[in-house]
A and B are shown apart, each in its own frame.
Chain A
Amino acid sequence: MPVTNDRYESVVALETGNRASEAELIDRLRCGDQAAFTWLVDTYSPSLKRLALAFVSVDAVAEEVVQETWLAVLTGIGRFEGRSSLKTWLFKILTNRAKTRAVREKRTVRFSELGPEDGDGPAVSPERFLPPDDPSFPGHWSTPPHPWSVVAEQAVIRRETMEVLRRGLENLPRSQRTVVMLRDVEGWPAHEVCAALDLSEANQRVLLHRGRSRLRSILETYFADDA
């Protein structure tokens, strides 16, 4: 793994109680240890399903793709050489299967071309800034951000905040949603998102930027209404 991302790499290390290393887990799996398999399924299936839903539209199809992925793990584990991390290998199997299913579903899976909703539109409405001909501070805030960064993580409102964020994420254009999900929710490094979605680094950043900017604005509206 060229780039280490804490959240991305430490899932196995986070295993509670039994701090099995990844190699140990793989050994146990090869020996037919059901507890190891169950742990892997329970740990990674939510993320696998979320990724599958980026490619296929139907929940039941995503379930099938996840299931196929685990079956492929069982038939392939004997050949797994550990050159990549287990998680990378898992997601690669899933991505390939999900893409195949998406083609069968006749769904467009091209992320490489930005949709009209992805390429344009400012991060913040121009009305929030002083006009370019302002004699003193052109382009500076006329209405600065409503402050919420401190309160957002307070326990009392956190649950509702997370719900607003979850809905906001679901409503993003698909390509933005997928990139934000992989980068910020799943914690993937940029180069792996580019590889999984056949995206250039520049386009990956545009999608991330548009998605994050939109989510920030949704949270700002939520906190402003609340005040």
Chain B
Amino acid sequence: MRNVAPSSDTDGLKRMGDDTVNEMACQELVEVITDYLEGTLPKSDRARFDAHLATCPGCREYLEQMRTLIRLSGSLTAKSIESATRDSLLRAFRRWRDSQTQL
């Protein structure tokens, strides 16, 4: 399935002109997307990125997927330490506390 045309310009020769060589292709967008999200993409590329997004539903979905991925990653939980480790830490804490009060 072909994607929605990013512009009405389908004339191959005309695409070599100033307006279109500057246009961001989807293949470039997926490689600079992290720079975009990190805010480190140069201003001119950022403008090209935004201009491309405005016309390309595929890339809008791609960007949304990246944002969703980051949100999901942020809610991954970590396994805690073993309860034996925790118990031994609490014992160590009490020893430490008692040694403090003796001073």
Binding site for B on A (CB under 8 A): 7, 32, 34, 37-38, 41-42, 45-47, 49-50, 63, 66-67, 70-71, 74-75, 122-124, 126, 129, 135-145, 147-150, 152-153, 161-162, 165-166, 169, 180, 184-185, 187, 190, 201, 205, 208-209, 212-213, 215-216, 219-220
Contact = CB atoms under 8 A, between A and B. Distances in A.
Contact of B93 (A34, A47, A190): A34
Interface string B1-30: 111011000101000000000000111101
A37 B88 CA distance: 13
A178 B95 CA distance: 35
A169 B73 contact: yes
Interface residues of B, number: 55
Contacts of A147: 61
B89 A205 contact: no
A185 B58 contact: no
Interface of B: 1-3, 5-6, 10, 12, 25-28, 30-31, 33-35, 38, 40, 56-59, 61-62, 64-82, 85-86, 88-90, 92-94, 96-97, 100-101
Contact of B89 (A67, A136, A140): A67
Contacts of A67: 81, 85, 88-89
Contacts, number: 162
Contacts of A122: 27, 30-31
B62 A145 contact: yes
Contacts of A142: 1-3
B34 A140 contact: no
Given A74-B96, A140-B26, A184 B89 contact: no
A213 B64 contact: no
A220 B84 CA distance: 40
Given A32-B101, A34-B97, A49 B65 contact: no
A53 to B, nearest CB: 10
A144 B82 CA distance: 45
B65 to A, nearest CB: 5
